[in-house]
Chains A and B, each alone.
Chain A
Amino acid sequence: MKTCIACGMPMKEKSEFAMGDESKDYCVHCANEDGSMHSFEQKKESMIGFIVKTQGLAREAAESAALSMMKKLPAWERNFAN
């Protein structure tokens, strides 16, 4: 099974892939309307937003957690290279 390179979500159904295209490596939640993948900043903001919404954490704590989650995902490897 494929997992989204940008958020880690497992993709089982065709509808879970970006544009319903199973050759894509990222999921429907990580795709812009034109089918391109979200940018690093976009994804970071949406992860922070999700953590704040579901766990109620302070923004600073949510940001630190979001970055550490992104660090483990192949799509953002280059953003963490130093």
Chain B
Amino acid sequence: MAEKRKLQKAETRKRIIAAAIKVYSEQGFSVPTVTIAEEAKVSHGSIFVHFPTVESLLICLLDSFSQSINNELQSLSESSGDIEKLLNMHINVLIQHEGFYKRLIKEAVYLPEEAKNTFIAIQSIVSIHFLQALEYEISAGKIKAVPFHMLFNTWLGLVHYYLLNGELFAPQDSVLTRYKSALIECFTALIKQ
């Protein structure tokens, strides 16, 4: 019986998380928790059993997003030195979370301090892999002499611009899926010398 309750509890938690991702992606982070409860088909109170504050729910979503980016890019470190491959993997993992990520970059400035810092930590994970993939080519003089953070921010800037203007570049479609090759080709052409 205790086992069954534990399972039920885990199931509810999963439903809340899935609903929160959906609702936040579609309507933004200021949506009231009651909307998430409705989407998850749970009572409003049960959200707070699992997540005492709205912020803790948001941090949980960010942590799991961070985990999935880390897992995805980790597999690359063995075959480092291939920047195209890394950019490809980066976009692939963003495609899996496209709605959520787009909302995140759109509303990042309004997020609570802790969530903002978690977002910086996520980009920090990406930057580690980015650095590993480029290190060899930078030291071999194959990359233009630009500070590393400018290379990284140029890439993020490009990806974020397309994401934020998705309605213009790919109406009703995944902008990252449609522009993946174009973005990667353009960026690598810009940085190589």
Spell out A's residues near B (CB within 8 Å).
Answer: 10, 50-57, 61-62, 64-65, 67-69
CB distance from A57 to the nearest CB of B (A): 7
A35 to B117, CA, bound (A): 30
Q: A10-B74, A50-B124 are in contact. Are A55 and B118 (CB under 8 A)?
A: no
What is the total of A-B residue contacts with beta carbons within 8 Å?
45
Spell out B's residues near A (CB within 8 Å).
Answer: 74, 113-114, 117-118, 120-121, 123-124, 127-128, 130-131, 147-150, 152-153
- Chain B residue at minimal CB-CB distance from A52: B149
Contact indicator B120/A57 (Cβ below 8 Å): yes
Contact indicator A54/B149 (Cβ below 8 Å): yes
Q: List 15 A-B contacts (CB under 8 A).
A: A51-B120, A52-B149, A54-B127, A54-B130, A54-B152, A56-B149, A56-B152, A56-B153, A62-B120, A64-B113, A67-B117, A68-B117, A69-B117, A69-B121, A69-B124
New A-B pairs, 7, CB < 8 Å, besides A54-B148, A68-B117, A68-B121: A54-B127, A54-B149, A55-B124, A55-B127, A61-B120, A65-B121, A68-B114
Q: Taking chain A's interface residues, is the majority helix, strand, or loop, or is none over half, making it mixed?
A: helix
A9 to B17, CA, bound (A): 26
Chain B positions within 8 Å of A56 at CB level: 147, 149-150, 152-153
A10 to B128, CA, bound (A): 13
A64 to B124, CA, bound (A): 13
Chain A positions within 8 Å of B147 at CB level: 56
Chain B positions within 8 Å of A57 at CB level: 120
Q: A54-B152, A56-B147 are in contact. Are A64 and B117 (CB under 8 A)?
A: yes
Contact indicator B124/A65 (Cβ below 8 Å): yes
Contact indicator A54/B131 (Cβ below 8 Å): yes
CB distance from B146 to the nearest CB of A (A): 11
CB distance from B150 to the nearest CB of A (A): 7
Chain B positions within 8 Å of A52 at CB level: 149
Contact indicator A54/B113 (Cβ below 8 Å): no
Most buried by A among B120, B127, B147, B148: B120
- Chain A residue at minimal CB-CB distance from B78: A12
